[in-house]
Amino acid sequence: MAKKVLGISFGRKMSNCDIMVKQALMKCEEEGCETAFIRADDLNIENCTGCIACTIGTMTGRGRGYCVKHDDFDILDENIMQSDALIIACPTYETSVTGRFKTICDRIGPSHDITFRKAAYDEGKAAGKPESALPDARAFKKRTAALISIGGAMTENWICLTLPMMYEFTFPMAIDVVDAVEYYGAMAHESVVGYPEMMERMTKVGENIVASIKAESEEERTKWRGDEDEGACPMCHTRLLQLSHDAKTVDCVVCGSHGTFEIVDGKLKVSYTEEEKKRSRLYWGGKLEHSTEIKTQAQPSGTIKNLKELKQPYEDFVRPPFPTDENAYGNVKK
Ligand SMILES: Cc1cc2nc3c(=O)[nH]c(=O)nc-3n(C[C@H](O)[C@H](O)[C@H](O)COP(=O)(O)O)c2cc1C
- Give yes or no for residue 79 CB within 6 A of ligand 1: no
- Tell whether 253 and 117 lie within a shared domain: no
- Tell whether 104 and 58 lie within a shared domain: yes
pLDDT of residue 329: 67
- Give yes or no for residue 152 CB within 6 A of ligand 1: yes
Give the residue whose CA is nearest to atom 18 of ligand 1. 152
Diameter over CA atoms, the chain: 66
Tell me the mean pLDDT in the region 72-88: 98
- Tell whether 67 and 150 lie within a shared domain: yes
Report percent pLDDT > 90 for the chain.
90
State the SS3 of 113-153: CHHHHHHHHHHHHHCCCCHHHCCCHHHHCCCEEEEEEECCC
156 in any annotated domain? yes
- Tell whether 172 and 264 lie within a shared domain: no
Tell me the mean pLDDT in the region 262-266: 94
308 in any annotated domain? no
pLDDT category at 162 given cuts 50, 70, 90 is very high
3-state secondary structure of 37: strand
Q: How far is the CA of 163 from the centre of ligand 1 (A)?
A: 13
Whether the predicted pLDDT of 58 surpasses 70: yes
Whether the predicted pLDDT of 334 surpasses 70: no
Q: To 5 degrees, how large is the angle CA 6–CA 166–CA 193?
A: 60
The DSSP line for 281-307 is: TTSHHHHHHHHHHHHHHSPPTTSSTTH
- Tell whether 73 and 164 lie within a shared domain: yes
161 in any annotated domain? yes
Whether the predicted pLDDT of 209 surpasses 90: yes
310 in any annotated domain? no
56 contact partners, CB below 8 Å, separation of at least 6: 62, 63
| CATH, residue 115 | 3.40.50.360
Q: How far is the CA of 41 from the centre of ligand 1 (A)?
A: 15
- Give yes or no for residue 124 CB within 6 A of ligand 1: no
- Give yes or no for residue 186 CB within 6 A of ligand 1: yes
Q: Considering only 116-125, 184-193, 319-328, which range has the smallest mean pLDDT? A: 319-328
Tell me the mean pLDDT in the region 55-84: 94
Which residue range(s) make up the domain with 284? 232-299
**What totals of helices (H) and strands (E) does the chain contain, helices first?**
11, 9
Of 261, 223, 221, nearest to 242 (Cα)? Answer: 261
The one-character DSSP state at 328 is S
Domain count, the chain: 2
Whether the predicted pLDDT of 263 surpasses 60: yes
Contact 22, 37 (CB under 8 A): yes
332 in any annotated domain? no
φ/ψ (deg, to 5) at 12: -75, 160
Tell me the mean pLDDT in the region 92-106: 98
| Rounded distance between C-alpha atoms, residue 97 and residue 102, angstroms | 7
- Tell whether 147 and 239 lie within a shared domain: no
**One-letter amino acid for residue 265 of the chain:** D
- Tell whether 259 and 144 lie within a shared domain: no
| Rounded distance between C-alpha atoms, residue 22 and residue 9, angstroms | 9
Tell me the mean pLDDT in the region 102-129: 95
Whether the predicted pLDDT of 325 surpasses 80: no
- Tell whether 137 and 237 lie within a shared domain: no
pLDDT category at 330 given cuts 50, 70, 90 is low
Atom of ligand 1 nearest to the CA of 9: 26
- Tell whether 94 and 160 lie within a shared domain: yes
- Tell whether 52 and 94 lie within a shared domain: yes
- Tell whether 34 and 130 lie within a shared domain: yes
Whether the predicted pLDDT of 333 surpasses 70: no
